[in-house]
Amino acid sequence: MLHLASLTYGYDPASPVLDIDAFHLPAGCHALLLGPSGSGKSTLLHLLAGILTPQAGRLEVAGTSLPDLTPRQRDSWRGRTVGLLPQQLALVPSLNVLDNVLLPAYASGQRPDPARAASLLGQLGLAGKLDAYPHVLSGGQRQRAAIARAVFMRPQLILADEPTDHLDDDSCATVVHLLARQAEQTGASLVIASHDARMLAALPDAAVLRLPRARDAA
């Protein structure tokens, strides 16, 4: 699923934000990107999603070499392959919960499937919130809606950026369980970027990539 080798990213070649010798993750497995704030975790997620392009090195995701794609090709690839759960959940305020989940289909030019969206929301405890707008949801409900949106297109790779930030222990375990369960249902690989030490107990079988603090990291 993921193959990284001699991967660097940064504005100054002498001081890259990221410098990864090698990292491999088989399809259907979990990985944790661990490190303090400013260590480049979000930057690496953006590289894996094809949002950023590496300075040098190998970056292969789901059999595709991302540096070889044009920006338009990467956008199309991302819509087919990646489900992204950003740290700022970015639900669209003017859309109800159901339409927020359907948004990836509209964005990628594919036919929306409201029945699948409703089923996902039901699995995540939001069956009664399909017509609700983000501003009336609790923080946990917004997060579950964002998880449904991230997995709606049955991505091969789910990327989550600090999904347990500011959550108590019970809520942390719940969110990780929801992400892992949704990944398992579609055979997707799951990569979580976090500075939360509880992740190691929540996903004990995950591969771990520890990122050191880097100057000028994003």
How does pLDDT run across 172-218, given as a tens digit for each residue?
898 899 999 999 998 999 999 999 989 999 999 999 999 974 443 44
Tell me whether strands 30-34 and 82-85 are parallel, antiparallel or unpaired.
Answer: unpaired
d(CA 154, CA 185): 9
**62 token code pair:** 């789901």
- pLDDT number for residue 214: 43
- pLDDT number for residue 194: 94
Domains along the chain?
A: 2-172+183-210 (3.40.50.300)
Q: Are 143 and 100 in contact (CB under 8 A)?
A: no
> Amino acid letter at 62?
A
For 94-120, the pLDDT digits (tens) are 999 999 999 999 887 788 999 999 999
Q: Which of 166, 196, 194, 192 is nearest to 178 (CA)?
A: 192
Q: Which residue has the higher pLDDT, 159 or 13?
A: 159
- What pTM did the predictor assign? 0.90
For 129-172, the pLDDT digits (tens) are 999 999 999 988 999 999 999 999 999 999 999 998 878 898 88
Element (H, E) at 38: none
For 25-35, the pLDDT digits (tens) are 999 999 999 99
For 65-105, the pLDDT digits (tens) are 999 999 999 998 998 899 999 988 889 999 999 999 999 99
> What backbone phi and psi angles, to 5 degrees, belong to 158?
-110, 125
- pLDDT number for residue 165: 83
Sign of CA dihedral 103, 89, 122, 48: positive
